Amino acid sequence: MSKEYFGTDGIRGRVGEGPITPEFMLKLGWAAGRVFRQEGRRNRVLIGKDTRISGYIFESALESGLAAAGVDVAMLGPMPTPAIAYLTRTFRACAGIVISASHNPFNDNGVKFFSAEGTKLPDSTEEQIEHFIRQPMEIVPSSQLGKAARFEDAKGRYIEFCKSTVPFHMSFAGMRVVLDCAQGATYQVAPSVFKELGAKVETIGVTPDGLNINHEIGSTHPDQLAAKVVETGADLGIAFDGDGDRVVMVDHKGEIVDGDEILYIIARDKMRKGRLKGGVVGTLMTNFGAELAFGELGIPFERANVGDRYVMEALLRNDWCLGGEGSGHIVCLDRTTTGDGIISSLQVLAALSDLGITLHEAKKGMSKLPQHMINVRVSQKVDIKGHVTIQSAIASAEKQFAGKGRVLLRPSGTEPVIRVMAEGEDEAKVRSIVAELAKIVEGSV
């Protein structure tokens, strides 16, 4: 069954435009309540959100819908997305809901769901929710209506959980860290975690006003963080996105350390300690330099489609524990059940502390290859794999790289374009190959 509302990461869109309206959220809450409610027990769903102003509206609407379906609601307030996953599991709730549009600007919003186990919902559950969205809304008898309450201790519990993911004896005393919380959901939690582990912490992006989330700040805009690290002489910087499931870092020289490099640092450290279970999952967009670096370490590497959902599917299929994306969405299944920016960055700091090296030194084992991409606009769907001319051009380009580069053509999932990308050791050659491939694609559609 095809889904009308759910995408690869929940439901998302512009505030005030369907389905991101109060009316829809009321019905969504009721539909989700119908699916999650189990007879014979008092059911509870957790609701958390990031700092965007529209969260107030949708929080109330979802609460009303869930209560109308006979489900209790625990309101957590602004909390990182991975915190909702953790708390859903530990509080034995039947589901968790996050109101967030992740790294998008404030005038977007969305809803993500977590199962009772703290994992993303399977397609079958999302299809069930959509089934009830299309049904008339029937409120349970008054004696069975759900209740709502604010959960006051949520932040403290999550802070302790984050700290527990590094060895008990470990302290980051003497380490100077700048945190960029993107004016988002980590603005209260992240500084506490790193301070309580001993680091000397400076912060930016910790004064959210409902409108400034992700605005020229955070993991998608790390330049301000890089400047602050250099200015203050800090050892490193850590930038989260608006809902805290992504992280990008900055070394003491102000150089950006992206998700591919973070994944490499964590994987190498786990291998050194004998704790790397199987291999590592990246995506179609993971830099080829990472693949080569994992190969040199003898670590199996597999590419999944772009999106944390697909990374997770590959990890579970292989029974591996580590995967991620260049955007900074890192999944450490030996620590938690979903991508978590705070926990991922803690694993990096633990590795640096163990080895007594800087972040700049830790990333040296991996050399990112030059990458270039052109978006070719198309008026209709193109079967890239079945197009003889395009496939011949791809084969010719790959032959030029002689195993030291790669070519990727993929349709965008959000706009009518084909992304033509290549990477290799010689930047000039990469750009030339991409330009030639883009011309061939343009002439073939």
**Alpha-carbon distance values, 167 to 55, 142, 164, 237, 346 (Å):** 36, 49, 7, 21, 10
Catalytic, 102? Answer: yes
Write down the catalytic residue from 54, 64, 100, 102: 102
Residues 6 or more apart from 300 whose CB is under 8 A from it?
Answer: 278, 279, 280, 294
Q: Report which DSSP code applies to 365.
A: G
Structure tokens at 364: 């040296």
Beginning with the edge strand found earlier in the chain, give each strand of the sheet holding 11-14 in spatial order.
11-14, 108-114, 95-99, 44-49, 72-78, 148-150
Active-site residue list: 102
